[in-house]
Structure 1
Amino acid sequence: MSDYKPIHSQRHAELEVAILHGLRLRTAWLTDAGQTRVEPLTPLNLNTCEQAEYLLALDCQGYHVQIRLDRIRAFHPL
């Protein structure tokens, strides 16, 4: 069983809008190691895997990043 906690629907919708408009987001999230990372990301898609939702994004170096939605602490358009 997954420990995933769904995010609020408004935040989910904000991510969808950012994806549709190609907006870059300053994003803060917890890594698997429990460390906080803050980076500008370009969100590409939202997907579901093993009963959890994920954000697929590009970092500023062009690498793909996948972040579980309930680990995102904040995001703001740049």
Structure 2
Amino acid sequence: MLRLTFTPAEADALEHERFHHPHPHVRRKMEALWLKSQGLAHQDIARLAGVSGKTLRTYLQQYVEGGVAGLKELHPYLVR
């Protein structure tokens, strides 16, 4: 299991982007990571965010590799 720590600034950025980013897919990623920053268990985060455990792990890995900016990246097959 990934153990992530979030600075207050990172948690604030996640909280803001989960409501204000223009793309709904990115908002979902931000929601999931914001829930993680609040200390929820992965099972609860996946349920509340409406994603599978595998998808949540992908989001977490994207955050580890690229931070909040990495979560904003959209792959061409996701952009509609």
Common fold, TM-score beyond 0.5? no
TM-score, L = length of structure 2? 0.40
TM-score, L = length of structure 1? 0.40
Q: Which has the higher strand share?
A: 1
Q: Which has the higher contact order (CA 8 A, sep 6+)?
A: 1
